[in-house]
């Protein structure tokens, strides 16, 4: 399955074997070595009900209606456990820097891609100085049961490795992306009906596992059979 520039797909974040967040994005590039997607301003967040592994049982972004600002470009190579996000601000689209979002390798579904957020992030300024973000939050997620101790250590090792890559100047993404702009003709339709019922592409043994069982929404029928546009 290959998408064309401008195609609208669903980006889903997975916990366990179920999606707990989904929103529409536009495909910018889909090649053997790179998937680039654009999260446009106003793209609405959707949160399926469930008893999720957080203090209040809801996704941390619950309460936000959708993507804000100038939109965000997301670059990820197949099998990388991180994506490079680019941010702009203001009517002149002033570049704000890169945000390296640690996440499981994306996997394709019939409606888009699935990924699992790994909580730890790296903020890279336009001058290429960088800092680690959400280390304390990662340990909090461990206490909540979302990650095991081994998971946390693996994620921290991954972050350290990316930091060494940045220090060495080994940037695989092209600076030309800084000047990229979305096609104004692109449209983001409403999310497909029953988007949350489509089978998850991430397997329980892929990347980070849950450290304890968590209750997820019950499905009374086949997820794939229930999907329709």
Q: Tell me, yes or no, if 133 is annotated catalytic.
A: yes
**112-115 vs 8-15, strand pairing mode:** parallel
Q: Compute the distance between CA of residue 124 and CA of residue 84 in angstroms, rounded to an integer.
A: 10
Whole-number Å distance between alpha carbons of 82 and 88: 20
Q: Supply the DSSP string of 40-55, one letter for each residue.
A: -TTPBPB------SST
Which of 59, 133, 142, 146 is an active site residue? 133
Q: Of all helices (H) and strands (E), which one includes residue 34?
A: strand 34-39
CB atoms within 10 A of CB 27: 20
- 151-178 burial by CB neighbour count: b if 16+ within 10 A, else e? bbebbbebbeebeeebeeeeeebeeebe
- Burial (CB < 10 A; 0-12, 13-18, 19+), residue 184, is exposed
Q: Please state, in angstroms and rounded to a whole number, the distance separating the CA atoms of residues 216 and 219.
A: 9
Catalytic residues: 133
């Amino acid at each position: 399955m290959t998408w064309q520039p401008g195609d609208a797909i669903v980006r889903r974040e997975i916990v366990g074997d179920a999606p707990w967040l989904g929103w529409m994005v536009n495909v910018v590039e889909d090649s053997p070595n790179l998937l680039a997607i654009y999260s446009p301003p106003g793209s609405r967040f959707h949160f399926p009900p469930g008893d999720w592994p957080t203090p209040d049982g809801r996704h941390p972004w619950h309460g936000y209606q959708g993507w804000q600002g100038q939109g965000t470009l997301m670059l990820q190579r197949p099998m990388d456990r991180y994506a490079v996000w680019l941010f702009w601000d203001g009517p002149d689209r002033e570049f704000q820097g890169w945000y390296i979002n640690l996440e499981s390798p994306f996997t394709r579904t019939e409606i888009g891609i699935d990924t699992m957020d790994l909580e730890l992030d790296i903020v890279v300024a336009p001058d290429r100085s960088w800092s680690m973000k959400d280390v304390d939050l990662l340990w909090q997620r461990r206490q909540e049961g979302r990650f095991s101790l081994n998971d946390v250590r693996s994620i921290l090792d991954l972050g350290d490795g990316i930091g060494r890559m940045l220090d060495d100047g080994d940037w695989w993404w092209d600076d030309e992306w800084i000047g990229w702009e979305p096609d104004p003709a692109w449209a983001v339709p409403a999310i497909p009906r029953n988007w949350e019922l489509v089978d998850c592409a991430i397997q329980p043994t892929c990347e980070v596992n849950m450290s304890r069982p968590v209750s997820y929404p019950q499905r009374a029928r086949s997820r794939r059979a229930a999907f329709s546009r």
